[in-house]
Structure 1
Amino acid sequence: MASFLYYSIFILYATSLYSIDGVLIRQFVRSGGKTENLTHLHFFFHDILGGENPTSVRIIGPPNGTAGGFGSTMMIDNALTEEQDRASKLIGRAQGFYSVASQQADEFAFLMVMNCVFVEGKYKGSSISILGRNPVMNNVREMPVVGGTGQLRFARGYALAHTVWFDAATGDAIVEYNVYVSDS
């Protein structure tokens, strides 16, 4: 009787390890038995289209007759700061491009392709690569982190973007990013 009880408990325990959608076992196998480190990065992205020193410039305009700017492409070298204020400490640069990727006015979205290169702090000299759809009219947008360099090598995860300030006259914007990456 006691052996049946121990056997039943063992089966329940072993099943529970896998029954949580197989997450525990998959993570252990995928990481080769190593623990994954989860890193949270927080910064503000300053997209400046106007003025004497823009950090985003249009390199491709929309084709004639295209509604909503579909096809417009901006090359960026935007400041990443610790705080919302543009004069706060510069911790990196977002370099890459974004394009208007949707034709529907009710679903305005960019294709974002950017490397966030860190120039200060713990991750100085490291970078992460973000590539994905950015539905800019949503309050919070999620985009995938597809890689990294330096201390963030092999990074994968996601970035949550939230626009905290937007000037409709110039197109300038400040976007808060919360990025979560693991490195194995």
Structure 2
Amino acid sequence: MSNFLAFATSTLLPLIALPIMYWVTKNLPKTKPKRTKTNLVFYVHDNFSGHDTSAVTVAGCNGPTTSVLKFGTLVAVDDPVTEGPDRDSREIGRAQGLYINSQMDGKGLHLVFSVVFTEGEYKGSSLEIQGPDPFSVKEREFSVVSGTGFFRFVRGYGIMTTEFIDILNLRAILKLDVTVKHDSDE
């Protein structure tokens, strides 16, 4: 009889326990990751000339000598990103990527670049920015489509305004006011 009880217990126990465990785990409350909203303001210094050149034309209808103000011109950038509009403001990262003049009249760009944070609270993280930049408009909205580090699973948008522009020397300071939502460990 003890052999029968041992056999029945060892065989029936898993058959009873598995459905119970399945039901319990299926009916436990699910925890969703906490979504955090982060607002950032920073400045991008886009310089086609001077000792601190950070943007270069790589292709266009006249080759790399084509003006960025002409349709079809492709530009590579590695622009400083600072906390404030002044060039001597603390550098917190780099805006690295490209943009193309994608408007027939030459007054609009399409941006695709990463803001790579090298200092401060978000050091080691990045935001991926994409969207139109009709630079003759005062405020331009763009998408934040991805991110790394602190900004994993990010989505959001930003408003870009021109703080300073020198058309003759092709130098500009752009203010980016960014709002993103992302998962948080908190």
Instruction: Sort the TM-score into its range (normalised by shorter chain).
Output: 0.7 to 0.9
Superposed counterparts of 1:46-57, under 5 Å: 46-57=45-56
Give the aligned partner of residue 177 of structure 1.
176
Superposed counterparts of 1:38-53, under 5 Å: 38-53=37-52
Give the aligned partner of residue 69 of structure 1.
70
Distance 1:63 1:154 in 2: 40
Superposed counterparts of 1:98-109, under 5 Å: 98-104=99-105, 108-109=107-108
Q: What does the per-residue CA deviation read over 1:125-155, in whole Å, with 9 as the maximum and x for residues that have no partner?
A: 0000001111111101000000000011111
Q: What does the per-residue CA deviation read over 1:14-68, in whole Å, with 9 as the maximum and x for residues that have no partner?
A: xxxxxxxxxxxxxxxxxx744321001110100010013310000012359xxx5
> AA paired with 2:114?
N
Distance 1:62 1:144 in 2: 28
Distance 1:52 1:34 in 2: 46
Give the aligned partner of residue 114 of structure 2.
115
Give the aligned partner of residue 89 of structure 2.
88
Contact 2:70–2:105 (CA under 8 A) maintained in structure 1 = no
Distance 1:127 1:41 in 2: 12
Distance 1:168 1:181 in 2: 31
Give the aligned partner of residue 155 of structure 1.
154
Give the aligned partner of residue 36 of structure 1.
35
* TM-score (structure 2 length as normaliser): 0.76
Matched residue of 1:170: which SS?
coil
5+ unaligned residues in a row in structure 1: which ranges? 1-31
TM-align CA RMSD: 1.8
Distance 1:155 1:34 in 2: 13
5+ unaligned residues in a row in structure 2: which ranges? 1-30, 64-68
* TM-score (structure 1 length as normaliser): 0.76
Q: How many residues align?
A: 149
Distance 1:139 1:62 in 2: 28
Q: Which runs of 4+ in 1 moved over 4 A?
A: none
Matched residue of 2:150: which SS?
helix
**Does structure 1 residue 78 correspond to structure 2 residue 98?**
no
Matched residue of 1:37: which SS?
strand
> AA paired with 2:46?
D
**Does structure 1 residue 167 correspond to structure 2 residue 178?**
no
Distance 2:158 2:98 in 1: 16
> AA paired with 1:146?
V
Superposed counterparts of 1:18-33, under 5 Å: 33=32
